[in-house]
Amino acid sequence: MDIEQRLAELGIELPAAPTPVASYVPVKVAGNIAYVAGQIARVDGEVVHPGHLGSEVSVEQGQEVARLCALQALAALHEALGGFDRLRSIAKVDVFVASEAGFTDQPAVANGASDLLAEVMGEAGIHARAAVGVVELPLGASVEVVVTAEIG
């Protein structure tokens, strides 16, 4: 699996690795597991589609944000690992969705992240997942994605 080649084939540019907005590291490696800190989608420092699903943000916009978050997680892994050669698979993805009361389409929103990882990594990108509705997310983000990856 050549992730950089696959990204090029798909016409997807890997963004710059995200920088922390608080006291944490973007990726923590422990043994053969790389834990990627929660990613919120920001472009040029601005949060993409801020707000809550079920009111200000549509499911389609939420999927777009989740996709961007997963792409940022790949960028964080790329920087922390010095490339993608050590990346074996995505083990788990946790997707947190800022949700209005009664909004229940968190799994559909989370598909934005899951589909991107499978599209880029094939079988190695297919993972276990949680999709959780929450009241608020950092910086007013609508979606936050956490990735746990197997490395070699």
Domain residue ranges of the chain, discontinuous segments joined by +: 3-14+26-151
pLDDT digits (tens, 9 = 90+) for 6-23: 999 999 999 988 888 789
Please give the model's pTM, rounded to 2 decimal places.
Answer: 0.95
Q: What percent of the chain has pLDDT over 90?
A: 93
What kind of fold does domain 3-14+26-151 have according to CATH?
60s Ribosomal Protein L30; Chain: A; (3.30.1330)
Residue 17: per-residue pLDDT? 87
Q: Tell me what the mean pLDDT of segment 105-122 comes to.
A: 98
DSSP states along 93-143 = EEEEEEB-TT---HHHHHHHHHHHHHHHHGGGG--EEEEEEES--GGG-SE
Tokens standing for 124?
């190695």
Identify the band that residue 1 occupies on the pLDDT scale cut at 50, 70 and 90. Answer: low
